[in-house]
Amino acid sequence: MKHPRLLGLILAASLAPNALALGLAPQAAQSRDSDGLHITRWGASALPLWRDATHWRGVAYETQQYQQLDREVKTRSLAWVDQQVNAQTALGYTLRLGWSEGAQRNLWTGDWSWSAAASERLQWNVFANRDRVESLPALQQGVHMNLVGVGADYQFHPRLTGVVAAHHTAFSDDQQRDVQRWRLIWDAWPEQGVNLQWALRTQRGQRNGQPPLYFNPNRFEDSLVYLGWRRRYAGWLVQGRAGLGEQRIDAQERTPARASELLVQSPQRDGQSLRLQWSSMQSAGGLQGAGYRWQQLQAQWVIQLR
């Protein structure tokens, strides 16, 4: 794999003698949708500059396999990864800068976010992403996207928080997309970790008149109400939410939408921890538009070697 020399220089710097510890993180993910697209990911991160579970630097290698009917696309990537986040506030930054090979053309990829507190009640964040568009027609045409966005969280009351975010996406095939998100979170039963959430997403797409390679309607909106839950049992974190609502594409009739997520994370024992996450959605997306369904399972095992 002939990656640019820059990644090699970054790796050499990460192996400096002042490294605090060494971490290893194998990971895998499997997703499928109602378009018939199956995505399988395998990879591992080597983290020579490891301080704890939220402060580390290193390199990550991953293979991606996309299958739909009798068609298949394979890619692989090598990336520098860096996370420096406060475990109590979840504020800080994450960075992933990589090189991806395959799918008609090679591509520099990146994922970055930075968050901070403006006051006791207000937090803000900025983020950016550059990656391939993960529908099989887009992969076969070598389409990628560049995304930039901003967001903010405001605590109106100790039990009521508002979240807003907006981002713009420019696609390499000359299409555009603007998305706005609003969310209210009410801690309905704090002692039991139960909360209620309302989420609204609006999207405006600009097409180039060509046949669609991925989901990007002129107008899209969905609104869902979630029941959320977060508890710890003997050090294990169990967190999830399930939501119901409706969606609308362009001038079509409103149709049902639903989504659910479940996260299970083990405590760190003997320098090891395990994280499992399952997500499911029935909403607009893919090439089907309304009625699109998607599921994903992710697993990560973090090992501190020294």
Please write the tens of the pLDDT for every residue from 148-162. Answer: 999 999 999 999 999
pLDDT > 90: percent of the chain: 77
* Fold (topology level) of 87-304: Porin (2.40.160)
Instruction: Identify the pLDDT of residue 145.
Output: 98
Please write the tens of the pLDDT for every residue from 240-288. Answer: 999 999 999 998 889 999 999 999 999 988 888 999 999 999 876 656 6
281, 294 contact by CB (below 8 A):
yes
221, 201 contact by CB (below 8 A):
yes
The contacts of residue 112 (CB under 8 Å, 6+ apart) are 93, 94, 95, 96, 127, 128, 129
Instruction: Identify the pLDDT of residue 280.
Output: 97
Instruction: Identify the pLDDT of residue 124.
Output: 98
Handedness of CA 37, 38, 42, 45 (dihedral sign): positive
pTM: 0.89
Give the single-character DSSP code of 105. S
Burial of 270-301, coded b for 16+ CB within 10 Å and e otherwise, reads eeebbbebeeebbbbbbbebbebbbebebebb
Q: How far apart are CA 201 and CA 195, in angstroms?
A: 20
For the chain, which ranges sit under pLDDT 70?
A: 1-20, 284-290, 306
Instruction: Identify the pLDDT of residue 211.
Output: 80
Instruction: Identify the pLDDT of residue 9.
Output: 45
